[in-house]
Structure 1
Amino acid sequence: MATRAIVQRACAKLRSAIRLEAVVHLNFARDLRDMLEVLVAIQTMLEDAEMQLFRDGSTASYLQLAVSAAYSTIDTVDELQDATTMTRMLPRLAIMKNAMATQVQETKKIVMWVLECSRELSEYTEENTIMFHQIIEERKTGPVFEEAMVLGRGSDKERIIAALLSTEPNITQENITILPIFGLLGSGKTTMAQMVFNDTHSLQGYDFRVWIHVSPQFDFHTIGNSIISHVSGRGQEEINHSSSDVEGMESMMNRLQKLLSGKKVLLVLDDLWEEDPIQLRRLKSMLTSLGDKMDVLVTTCNQAIARRICTVEPYMLNRLSDDTCWQIIKKSIRFKVGEEELEKIGREIASKCRGVPSAARDYAGMLDCYSRDARLWWKKTMELNICFSVMNYGSAFSLVLSTFELSYKSMPPSLRLCFAYCCLIFPASHSMVKDDLVHHWIALHLIEPSEILSATKIAEEYITRLQDLSFLQTAELDNVSGKDEKGAILFTIHDPVHDLMVWFLGNSSYRLATNPHGKIDDTYDKYLRALCCVGCSKVEFKDDSFSRKKCLRVLELKESSVQKLPHSICQLRYLGYLKISEFTGLVTLPDSFGQLKNLFHIDLSGCSRLAALPESFGDLINLSHVNLSRCHGLAGLPEPLQNLGKLVHLDLSFWSCFEEIGKNLGGLTTLEHLNLSNPCCHLDHRSHLKGLKGLKDGLCKLTKLRYLNLSACLNPIFYYHQSQEDSLKYLGECVRNLSSLEHLDLSHHTFLFGLPASLGELNNLKTLNLSGCIRLKMVGEMKSLTFTNLRMCRGLESCQFVVRIIDDDDVYSSSNIVQLEVVNCQELQISCLENVRSRVEAQRIKMAEKQKIKKLKLSWTLDSLRSVEDSALLGELLPPPNLQCLEVNGYAGTCLPEYLGELTSLQELKIVCCKHLNSLPDRMQKLTSLKDLCIFDCPELEKWCQLEENKKMLAHIPNKNYEEPASTSRQEIEEDDRSGDEVEAV
């Protein structure tokens, strides 16, 4: 519902409208002030009424009335502002006075009725406070649990215990390991912590085991006193709370340090909700100062909290399989084998649990195997929503409801509004395109820009927060059909959360119509603000189809064969987002299309017969996003686009190789995102090449471009050029001036043999997609890149890869080294290995399986900070047995891995700037193929090599070179080495 946010929007609208000259002239100012006063007054109780909704649903009608009043107010103010814009001369306003006066009075009546109803709800303010404390009491946990009832979590438990026992150093503190467990609502995070906490066999040697339920009311004194209470074996320790907070904390910390000095502690902090980074840093600091060794398990619903508090990578608890959920139900009800019909129904019920174990237990509580009509009752249960079972039978899943309620309560009002929209407009398990979702929110004014951040940036933060709560999840791209939104970032809503939102909330302002038959009329046309109509093949558009939907801000129409749109669509003057996709019969748009002045996003993808855009299209001065993908009927880049001064996003994928494309593109200097992938040429061979040759002239003028997709676009150019040098020169000219470019897609260029040097000069370039470039031979070092896609580059011979940290702001961020999992070439150089964040990352690239590698260079930056010890990391980078040349540069370990003696095909070994290395493995004598050994600037190792017994071990190597530079600094050596590599790469 997010009622409060909608009311706040209405109040902001009223404040701006009261000052309008036309409002004052027409004597509406007093009415607007009255409405503002009422809406401000009711905001204080809306929060309580909304939370009460989760308990018994008794406030649903009141909240719906408040929403209607707020939206009616917003629409009335929009009409007033629109009238002021359209009639600049004040005398002409008198003509509209009567109509506007009627609308203002009707809206005021609704607002006043909300005030009357709110007086009956004042008692909820006190009740809601009591209810919040009840929720906290109900959520209190301890270490005791029924282990026999836990299924499907054995492997999770083993991995968590292994992480606690790992000897790998932490990123921050060595005396403490903080391992958070996070995941979906009801996934069993507390149960998992209980399983680990009670395992005295695998986790031994602890002097104390302490379990603390933190609760949403975070307090340092409570946590500290609880630890003291558990450790001392007494009652709750008394702290002098009359003293200042600092003094109280100091006294408590002194007591804790005395009790835990020299002790090893296992601590569980269950149900952590505190999001403030400063408070979390204080908590981490407090725990670090206690004891000689402390292992801490933290359970939380919020991934952001997990990232801020951790010292090792947080553990995500994923959903269970449907089969495991069925096993939980069977075990809970003591189901007997042989009831095949009941089992079939039971498995369908298990699939409704969506992998949430508490939902499985809750459904189990509703089932009865032994009644005469068991089959009938099971079928009835299968049809029930899990929310119904909570309200009527509530047991295990009621904890999920309280978790959802607390998560919802922690959201700012605007975020609630945005998430409610996702649940109400999109069905369960539906995949949402990220960019479309953001533009829906903006078009509906669910997000307003601040003084610091744009609406788009705020939307990005909202999506991140919903992901942290596991409310939104990244969808599998494999589920996306190739013809629609391929490669886009997709999200789905966690199904139980979707069900809860839809069950408790309602809104007639949003509507999803699936396969409507013959019409798209709606009872609530007057208030409709978003309409998504999927499968419009049988819809008949009449001239007045949109005349009663004047409040629409978002309109999606997909899949139809109609040849023309009704002119009434041009009456939607508040429309911000318009998607008319897969209208395969559409030939033209209405001439008056330019009247949609508020339109900022239009998607005409798949309108394959659209021959032209109307001239009035250039009047859409607020248009920033245009999608003309698969519009094969367009003979050229539409001229009206040249008039769009705010255009930042243009999608021409699967375009028709327009003539003079470069000349026309060069005028769109505001573009930041351009997609020219997969041209489908309908021109003759010469016109095709002519159009592509001129493309570089337009691209070089788009200096604001941040994203450029040229996937398979330049294949004809590369194919018909007589030399590779000409092809690389052409590509270099295309991108040379794009200094703002961050993302470049060159995938599926099957005739691309190399990369131009100018790519290395793009200092802002972060991602480069080269997948499917099957003839690409070499990829040189590009220092700014954090992501390089080299999938299906079968012809790759040489690759220079720089390890980068993907997210510097994250306490436990990952590196990009895992991208080498798909790389298998003859020569591989990996530099900046100090940025690898865990041994697991190195394991994932499966170096030993890369049979093509003959030459391998592994480099660390001298004197840099490490997240993983060099010896541990090098141990995971086991080369394939057929390796011929190996170079280790900047290694800080004292010895090399024993596997070096197993590389029997090794012919050349080079060890550079390894100042602590003091020996070589004993098995060096096995390397009978080794011809060259070069040791450069490794003083300890050079001394080792001069010992007589070691000389004998290395006697079989023909060429040995031990050098200690006299005057050259190590930094100069490293710079020399890198510059030499760059020259070789070019």
Structure 2
Amino acid sequence: MAESFIFSIAESLITKLASHAFQEASRVVGLYDHLRDLKKTLSLVKAVLLDAEQKQEHNHVLREWLRQLKSVFYDAQNVLDEFECQTLRKQVLKDHGTIKDQVSHFFSSSNPLVFRSKMAQQIKDVSKRLDKVATDGQKFGLRIIDVDTRVVHRRDTSRMTHSRVSDSDVIGREHDKEKIIELFMQQNPNDDDKSLSVIPIVGIGGLGKTTLAKFVFNDKRIDECFKLKMWVCVSDDFDINQLVIKIINSVNVNDAPLRQQNLDMVDLEQLQNQLTSKLAGKKFLLVLDDVWNDDRVKWVELRNLLKEGVAAGSKILVTTRIDSIASMMGTVASYKLQNLSPENSLSLFVKWAFKNEGEEEKHPHLVNIGKEIVKKCKGVPLAVRTLGSLLFSKFEANEWEYVRDNEIWNLPQNKDDILPALKLSYDFLPSYLRQCFALFSLYPKDYEFHSVEVARLWEALGVLAPPRKNETPEDVVKQYLDELLSRSFLQDFIDGGTIYQFKIHDLVHDLALFVAKDECLLVNSHVQNIPENIRHLSFAEFSSLGNSFTSKSVAVRSIMIPNGAEGANVEALLNTCVSKFKLLRVLDLRDSTCKTLPRSIGKLKHLRSFSIQNNPNIKRLPNSICKLQNLQFLSVLRCKELEALPKGFRKLICLRHLGITTKQPVLPYTEITNLISLELLSIESCHNMESIFGGVKFPALKALNVAACHSLKSLPLDVINFPELETLTVKDCVNLDLDLWKEHHEEQNPKLRLKYVAFWGLPQLVALPQWLQETANSLRTLIISDCDNLEMLPEWLSTMTNLKVLLIYGCPKLISLPDNIHHLTALEHLHISGCPELCKKCQPHVGEFWSKISHIKDVFIKEPEKLKEEEDE
């Protein structure tokens, strides 16, 4: 329930009211006393909220009181945001306003005297309501607990940072693995038989079907048996076109794992031709993970596409929770995955509850309690792992007993339901993390999350704690993700130094839906209307935008279409937003096809995040968009018809992330350099630009992404003008000379502090640029992909003492690694593919470079025999 994070809402309000900037601004407009009184009342109410959160499960009246209180809190948030909007507008008028602007401001409702009177009344109204609700709460006899003590113990999460499964991390599934592999190795009765063998694994959610499939998928015997391996996550969506696209991309992933073709506009016949060319004559293994489709017509259609030109012995491995689906798809009897034995369950629990192997022997009393906890998990690995993580580094018996004896286990539940175990772990989260976790419900199942996207949403909605001194909001996001990872809420987590990606398990997604149901709604074809209390809307597909908004849906703060609104015209939605959703903070309309934006969009003064990226039609943005002084994130990336940025861009003084595609030959530097808060700048498909920046200073910029700027010849960046730059991505800029970067750079200048560098699709790159050597003490991730003419890696690469990730894809002329690469003791992930000679020399145990890279935890080298076979074909 959403009331489980009401404490964090109160805390954020008090923090804002207590901030020096807010207090100074309130004095200027004469509202200091009003806001001080509001803060006092909030502090009194906040003191009992943690006790109320814990007791609401069994007290309907208390739960309703919290719901009323939350409504007042949100109204208080709106009042404070209104106050901030006025303060920002005043600052913009002072710094950039004309006399005409100032006269217009004086005669508007934002006139200081009118505004003060209006705000004073709103604050009084909120304070009065808050006083009443606070008085009503006295009857519950709540205890004062003013500090949230549910701290998260961070653990070493290094073993959980990639999707491949280490044998040592899988407990109790060796027998299952051997049985599945035995089925794979069975020959078809007739060698000429072109039918596809389909082997289903069936089991309840959280039982480890996907883990077992990965365990099998990565076995050496499977590599020897199948020329081609593909992995596709199916989940709720069984759209044939999209599945074929996923399969094609899964084939392509062997050449460049982080790049995928954009095939969304291709019809099924063209897709079938591409699929056939990829699979023809190859003996393949395809994993279809997490299938829910029970429509046999769709399955037969997909199967027939896959059978075209198939080599004998090809197999499909299916994981599903539903017996009837397994029977429909399988050509052999379903493999029914059983629950873990009590012994294996306890071993798994101990592995996650204690830091070091054997540590449990020092705490036999805790292990005995653990046995009773494990019994309640019913042999479901996800439940065991989650509760083990929950108790990690806790050595007080009462903490373990609390989990064992918690009444949540007695709630009505379905057979083998593990939601109580996950909900219990959620209840132990600090209040500030609960709100962030709940927002995962706005994304579809199997969504691949990227930290930049998550950071934008969390920050735009104000659910992040204010950064401490020398911290950024991205630092806070990383801390939150680390904490969620430590509790096993995240999986397939990849740490790129400054950028992170991850997924969440289907059941964890179900938990997010459960706890966020009063505030967040993922709209699909089954949703008939949108309740008036919903604050965050996400549309699973654009067709569901037809669902009616109620006339009272004024509380909406987020509208998202995470899978894109391709082919959709969103003018009607935009008009609805402007007329109804005046409190909107997040508006994501990626892939839409509207030709214009209404001038009235400038009225959405609370808007913090706006994206219209990938729009193929829009030519201009209204100048009114520059009235959105609260805007922190703006993306017009890949809007290839956009002729120019709007006038007045410098007024967006809160803008932190900006993504640009424009036909302008020169960026409006005087506008952009006034964006003093800008930390991330992406410039893409600006085909008319030959040069960018030219000595302009960006004092706060931390990340720069430049892609598909085909006329670009130089990037004159240096540490003087970019003192905070940490992330650099350069992609598909075929005329760019990276060595020109440092042509005016003097040796005595400070060194670059880049942490993440990626070079993609740069055929002109023969050697890594010399200036990269300056990052020796800071660089953590280096990605080199599709650089056809790269011939060598320099010896100084071995001085990168903090390098954790080195990914090399599609560099066919690269034939060796630096002699001293074994000096990279921090290196954890080394992936090499599309480099035939280099792959041959790096083969495990037999390659000449193997002894120098064998210490690395995660090494993926594409086998040269497979590369050769694919080249011959």
Match of 1:115 in 2: 134
**Rounded Cα–Cα distance in structure 1 between residues aligned with 2:755 and 2:489:** 29
Match of 2:687 in 1: 656
Match of 1:40 in 2: 43
**Rounded Cα–Cα distance in structure 2 between residues aligned with 1:605 and 1:752:** 25
TM-score for both structures, normalised by structure 2: 0.58
**Rounded Cα–Cα distance in structure 1 between residues aligned with 2:853 and 2:390:** 32
- The answer as to whether partners of 1:669 and 1:704 remain within 8 angstroms in 2 is yes
Alignment pair present for 1:573 and 2:605: yes
Label 1:155 to 1:392 Cα distance change in 2 as closer, same or farther (>3 A): same
Deviation at 1:616, TM superposition (A): 0.5
- The answer as to whether partners of 1:778 and 1:797 remain within 8 angstroms in 2 is yes
Deviation at 1:579, TM superposition (A): 1.3
Alignment pair present for 1:617 and 2:631: no
Label 1:212 to 1:701 Cα distance change in 2 as closer, same or farther (>3 A): closer
1:248-287 matches, within 5 Å, as none
**Rounded Cα–Cα distance in structure 2 between residues aligned with 1:436 and 1:225:** 42
1:489-508 matches, within 5 Å, as 489-505=500-516, 506-507=518-519, 508=534
Deviation at 1:421, TM superposition (A): 2.3
**Rounded Cα–Cα distance in structure 1 between residues aligned with 2:409 and 2:424:** 20
Alignment pair present for 1:770 and 2:787: no
**Rounded Cα–Cα distance in structure 2 between residues aligned with 1:580 and 1:598:** 17
Deviation at 1:457, TM superposition (A): 0.8
| Larger-Rg structure | 1
Deviation at 1:11, TM superposition (A): 2.8
Deviation at 1:3, TM superposition (A): 0.9
Deviation at 1:305, TM superposition (A): 8.0
Match of 1:468 in 2: 486
**Rounded Cα–Cα distance in structure 1 between residues aligned with 2:411 and 2:537:** 26
**Rounded Cα–Cα distance in structure 1 between residues aligned with 2:553 and 2:598:** 17
- The answer as to whether partners of 2:605 and 2:628 remain within 8 angstroms in 1 is yes
SS in 2 for 1:819: strand
SS in 2 for 1:584: coil
Deviation at 1:612, TM superposition (A): 0.7
* Paired amino acid for 2:134: L
Deviation at 1:57, TM superposition (A): 7.0
SS in 2 for 1:779: coil
Label 1:643 to 1:18 Cα distance change in 2 as closer, same or farther (>3 A): closer
SS in 1 for 2:595: coil
Match of 2:706 in 1: 676
Match of 1:710 in 2: 730
Query: Deviations along 1:105-134, whole A, 9 cap, x unmatched?
Result: 4323432343254345447999xxxxxxxx
- Of 66, 70, 93, the match for 1:67: 70
**Rounded Cα–Cα distance in structure 2 between residues aligned with 1:19 and 1:743:** 36
Deviation at 1:582, TM superposition (A): 2.7
- Of 420, 439, 458, the match for 1:441: 458
**Rounded Cα–Cα distance in structure 2 between residues aligned with 1:537 and 1:579:** 15
1:495-644 matches, within 5 Å, as 495-505=506-516, 506-507=518-519, 508-513=534-539, 514-515=541-542, 517=545, 523-533=551-561, 535=565, 536-540=568-572, 545-628=577-660, 631=661, 633-639=663-669, 640-644=671-675
- Report how many residues are paired: 611
Query: Deviations along 1:183-216, whole A, 9 cap, x unmatched?
Result: x9776999757334999xxxxxxxxxx9999999
Greater shift, 818-827 or 42-51, is seen at: 818-827
**Rounded Cα–Cα distance in structure 1 between residues aligned with 2:345 and 2:546:** 61
Deviation at 1:730, TM superposition (A): 5.0
Label 1:48 to 1:192 Cα distance change in 2 as closer, same or farther (>3 A): farther
Match of 2:765 in 1: 752
Deviation at 1:626, TM superposition (A): 0.8
**Rounded Cα–Cα distance in structure 1 between residues aligned with 2:28 and 2:667:** 47
**Rounded Cα–Cα distance in structure 2 between residues aligned with 1:228 and 1:528:** 47
SS in 1 for 2:678: coil
Deviation at 1:503, TM superposition (A): 2.6
SS in 1 for 2:591: strand
Label 1:65 to 1:634 Cα distance change in 2 as closer, same or farther (>3 A): farther
**Rounded Cα–Cα distance in structure 2 between residues aligned with 1:545 and 1:426:** 20
- The answer as to whether partners of 2:448 and 2:501 remain within 8 angstroms in 1 is yes
Greater shift, 610-619 or 406-415, is seen at: 406-415
**Rounded Cα–Cα distance in structure 2 between residues aligned with 1:100 and 1:198:** 59
Gaps of 5+ in 1: 127-150, 160-183, 200-209, 231-235, 237-266, 273-297, 310-387, 478-486, 682-687, 718-726, 809-814, 831-844, 882-986
- Of 119, 128, 133, the match for 1:100: 119
**Rounded Cα–Cα distance in structure 2 between residues aligned with 1:802 and 1:305:** 42
1:319-358 matches, within 5 Å, as none
Deviation at 1:5, TM superposition (A): 0.4
* Paired amino acid for 1:760: Q
Alignment pair present for 1:796 and 2:814: yes
Query: Deviations along 1:456-486, whole A, 9 cap, x unmatched?
Result: 2111110122122232334899xxxxxxxxx
* Paired amino acid for 2:583: C
Label 1:76 to 1:825 Cα distance change in 2 as closer, same or farther (>3 A): same
* Paired amino acid for 2:504: I
Higher relative contact order (CA 8 A, sep 6+): 2
**Rounded Cα–Cα distance in structure 1 between residues aligned with 2:476 and 2:804:** 24
Alignment pair present for 1:409 and 2:427: yes
Deviation at 1:446, TM superposition (A): 0.9
Match of 2:343 in 1: 195
**Rounded Cα–Cα distance in structure 2 between residues aligned with 1:463 and 1:228:** 28
Match of 1:786 in 2: 804
Query: Deviations along 1:110-164, whole A, 9 cap, x unmatched?
Result: 32343254345447999xxxxxxxxxxxxxxxxxxxxxxxx995318999xxxxx
**Rounded Cα–Cα distance in structure 1 between residues aligned with 2:21 and 2:731:** 53
- Of 472, 480, 483, the match for 1:454: 472
Alignment pair present for 1:5 and 2:24: no
Deviation at 1:16, TM superposition (A): 5.5
SS in 2 for 1:796: coil
**Rounded Cα–Cα distance in structure 2 between residues aligned with 1:702 and 1:18:** 27
TM-score for both structures, normalised by structure 1: 0.52
Alignment pair present for 1:430 and 2:447: yes
Identity, % of aligned positions = 20
Label 1:454 to 1:756 Cα distance change in 2 as closer, same or farther (>3 A): closer
**Rounded Cα–Cα distance in structure 2 between residues aligned with 1:581 and 1:489:** 21
Deviation at 1:735, TM superposition (A): 9.3
